[in-house]
Structure 1
Amino acid sequence: MARSAPAIRAWAPPLRATVYLIGEFGTAAMTLLSFLLLCHPGMRRSWAEWHRQRAGRLLGRPVRAQSIALPRHLYWLALHLTLGLSCGLASVVCVGNALLVAAAPLQWWAFPVQGSPNTVLDIPVVGRHGAIAGGPSVETVLFAVGCLALPVLATGYARLTLAVLASSRTQLLADRVATLSRTRSDALEAHGAELRRIERDLHDGTQARLVAVAMRLAMARRCLDHDLVTVARMLREATDVTEEAMVELREVLRGIYPPILADRGLQGALRTVAARGGVPVSIDLGELHRIPAAIEAVAYFVVTEALTNVAKHSRATEAGLSVRRVEDMLTVVVTDNGVGGARENGGSGLAGLRGRAQALDGCVTVVSPVGGPTTITVELPCG
């Protein structure tokens, strides 16, 4: 099995290219047949976006959904109906001819006929012995040509597809402004909700306990001259309530900026969170240098929430945590080998992670197919 792995990897590019080009041939034919339906802008946009994602998968690039200007839809549609159909047809002819030549000896053995049948490229196969002797050689040539040419053809066409369907600079700026406006609004709303939460926690918890402390101290003062037992009891109760108030106050402060970040830094805090995660976590922390406090807090909360989800929902036996800084971008990756199927609307806290990241102009990518594994990638600018 170990020896066959390199061979399988060697055959993967031509196979992927063949499947991609045959798919382009089929979808180009479908486009031609349903041209009137694709005149609808929404259908055309969805069709073009699906091909963008397909081209990105072939090239191994992550392709994010984006709005594409109308002229580029039309340019790509013309390209797909001409070059896409031609490239796909070339792959169909190459693969089909190789299969026919390979099957020629079996055909001559099972059904002897008069005359000389031809292949798709009009290559004659003369006689049973000619089919047996010449078939494999022709097949080998066609197969070699296909293995060499089809990956190049598929890669070139996929790159051309991404180039044609790429957003213009104006569109990118417009999308950027729209994203920043939306995230700013979300950040302001989240900030208001956070202030209301802090006010409620302080009012219902810490403030009430401090009032109780003041009442007990006042009672102790009134009893100081004639009832020392009551004074001692009031002071003990005041001490206990003060300690409870301090605990609640620490909880409130932890929600604003975790004290562990100030004590141990981001790397030390993340190691502590991973050690308490509930499942074994492999840690890979790069050199992070100086990171703004707001970015540190978001990274800490993201990892805490993600590892909590792993322990509560994923049924994983192990997880991984990687934190890297490349230039001015901090990348946090949390993986697990659980059952997958994570959804933002499933009560998993992923929507909260996305909101925290977007508030600082970051982004969150969740890959969680049913059956696992799950990978959560968070990118945060820290320049």
Structure 2
Amino acid sequence: MHERWTEIRRGAGYLLTVFAAALALLAVFPLLLIAVLAAGLPGPLGETADWHRRLAARFLGVAVDAAPPATRRAEPPLGLAAAWRQRMRSPENRRHLRWLPRALVTGLVGGLGAVLFLGMAVGGVLMAPVRPVFDLESSFGDIGLASVPLDLGQSLLGAALCWWVLPRMARWHAEVCLSALEPTDEERLAERVGELTESRAGVLDAHGAELRRIERDLHDGAQARLVAIALRLGVAREQLPEDDDRLATLLREAHEGAEEAMTELRDVIRTIYPPILADRGLDGAVTAVAARSAVPTEVDLDELGELSPAVSAAAYFIVTESLTNAAKHSGATHARVRLTRAADRLLVEVTDDGIGGVDETRGTGVIGIRRRAAALDGSVLVSSPTGGPTAITVELPCGS
């Protein structure tokens, strides 16, 4: 019994609260409609929806995830129409739009029902004692005692409605509110995929920064020491007496070993993070690769804008590997490299006039290109019919 009265009290308080909130929303609904049409969803509506979500969850005694933080990643400037479409495509904003009409309808219906039921239950009890005093219109001197049973019956009906219907109505409103504001399984999956994509981009950026740090340390540290050692060994060889053949042989071998180590270290540095990419950017690095290529190569570069180190490195190595493959396997006499950027996608195209017939199962280097693109969630399209030409097209995401 006590638990039932607690449910009635909590349900009545909940419904009266959402009724007042629905009246407030209804009062400002024209302003909300104008704000939605003009600039997407305003921030206060999201805060109101989140407040209703927490209120419904607390009433039902269920746990809900905390609202996402208000901070967002920096986005490139957009036009008014594009910004409006982007905001309206947001899953969170779509949930708010889905919730708003339901909140108005269920809040008004539930609140009016609570007011009616409570009014019937309390009003009949309050009116029964004073009805005979104020009812002076009865005939034959009757002072209105016949109205007392009607008041008591109304009170009993209101009490029954409060007992059976009011808690169910409050629960119905809370469940409707949560169903509209809680993300669906598909939305949760999409949000999780977005979080993983963003975290992977952060890992790749951190990885690229670490590679650049290692490259600088090797270039400025180990390589500089090897150069100094090689120079000292060269000076020692020049100052060594000609008749000391054994020592001369040892110095010569040490000198040659130091130079070979420098050559290997330079190769390692170029595979870690090419210094030319750090010094001249992707445009200059690709131009330099094309100039050194064994196949005469034409370069076509559009305005690429600012690219992350991971994307720049992937594009550079894709171009390098493609031109190396063309020189080794295709017998091409001409190649063309084209880099373009469309919104958040970087397009890398490498074509040659060779014999074609690329077979990825025979180690032609395309597998490495695919792996580099896959690491950034990119795509690779290879067109290489027998007799040529060969075209490798790679799309890499390069959004902020």
Query: Which of the five TM-score ranges fits, normalised by the shorter chain?
Result: 0.3 to 0.5
Answer with 1 or 2: which has the greater Rg. Answer: 2
Q: What TM-score results when the alignment is normalised by the length of structure 1?
A: 0.41
Q: What TM-score results when the alignment is normalised by the length of structure 2?
A: 0.39
